[in-house]
Amino acid sequence: MPQKSLFFHHVHSTCKGVNGIKIQNGGIVTDTSASNHLPGWEDVESKIPLNVEEPPMEEPEPQPDRLLVLKVLWNDFLMCYSSRPLLCWSVWWALSTCGYFQVINYTQGLWEQVMPSRNAAIYNGGVEAVSTLLGAVAVFAVGYIKISWSTWGEMTLSLCSLLIAAAVYIMDTVGNIWVCYASYVVFRIIYMLLITIATFQIAANLSMERYALVFGVNTFIALALQTLLTLIVVDASGLGLEITTQFLIYAGYFALIAVVFLANGIVTIMKKYTKQEDPESSSQVTTS
């Protein structure tokens, strides 16, 4: 855990103490020799006296300027997302998480339409458990994959997003419950695999104190997009589409993500190989 906040709750490293209780780095540190002499202080946190006379403070601790804090927060936000790799992985995080939440929230309704529970035995809970277990295995295995994510990361995101789109499309169009189950397992495995890689890649480009800022913003954008998508596609005040049409839209949504990252990945690879060719050509000119 980070030892301090970059924006809020700044605490001086020097200890301030009253009757054996010290505040250090935002936490309570008890002095047992002093606290044992105080009656009824078995539980320090719940039995701190309310009327303890404190020594006069020389000068009040200045409160942080809220506007200044917000300004620093905004500047830090811009600085974090000025990193192209971090921006790329964060965009995929937000877009894909939005689609992922939509699929897992409404897939039970799709399965009910494909195979009504009143007509046959269903295994929805078992499929959820199996997909989670296999996703965990895939996440563990990805640690052994050796790949240059700075070069091939966007192409990987594009390919896997296309596979997710295909899994959602098959689940929507094939009227067989076992095919739906298999497609759902593939969908969750790929997403859990990629979200783990994305988490690592984002964290690798950040200091520890900025984790909450970036991951919080990414998750907020994902939930905001999901809310908007729900209002447009699902809610009766919007289009109020049938469940099969909804999943067709979700498949197209992931396909669009794949196209965007495919184009971005091609540009990244071209730039990388262009930079590699420039030193070679300049060295040849120097030699001649």
Distance in angstroms (rounded) separating the CA atoms of residues 158 and 261: 5
Write down the pLDDT at residue 36: 45
d(CA 196, CA 206) in angstroms, rounded, equals: 16
Q: Looking at residue 8, what is its pLDDT?
A: 61
Query: Could you name the CATH architecture of 85-275?
Result: Up-down Bundle (1.20)
Which residues, in sequence order, are CB contacts of 113 under 8 Å at separation 6+?
243, 244
List the single range of 86-95, 162-171, 226-235, 262-271 with lowest mean pLDDT: 262-271
Q: What is the pLDDT of residue 119?
A: 82
d(CA 4, CA 2): 6
Which of 33-42, 115-124, 230-239 is the least confident region?
33-42
Which amino acid, one-letter code, is at 89?
A: W
Question: Is it the case that residue 222 has pLDDT exceeding 60?
Answer: yes
Residue 110: the pLDDT is 94
Say what the pLDDT of residue 259 is: 96
User: What are the domain boundaries of the chain?
Assistant: 85-275
30-86 pLDDT tens trace: 444 444 444 444 444 444 455 555 555 555 555 557 787 788 778 887 888 888 888
Q: Of 104 and 211, which is predicted with more confidence?
A: 104
DSSP E strands in the chain: the ranges are 16-18, 21-24, 27-30
- Name the residue with higher pLDDT: 40 or 205: 205
**Quick one: pLDDT at residue 7?**
62
Instruction: Count CB atoms within 10 A of the CB of residue 35.
Output: 14
**pLDDT for residue 187 is more than 90:** yes
Q: What is the pLDDT of residue 118?
A: 87
Instruction: Flag whether pLDDT at 261 surpasses 70.
Output: yes
Work out the mean pLDDT of the chain and round it to a whole number: 80
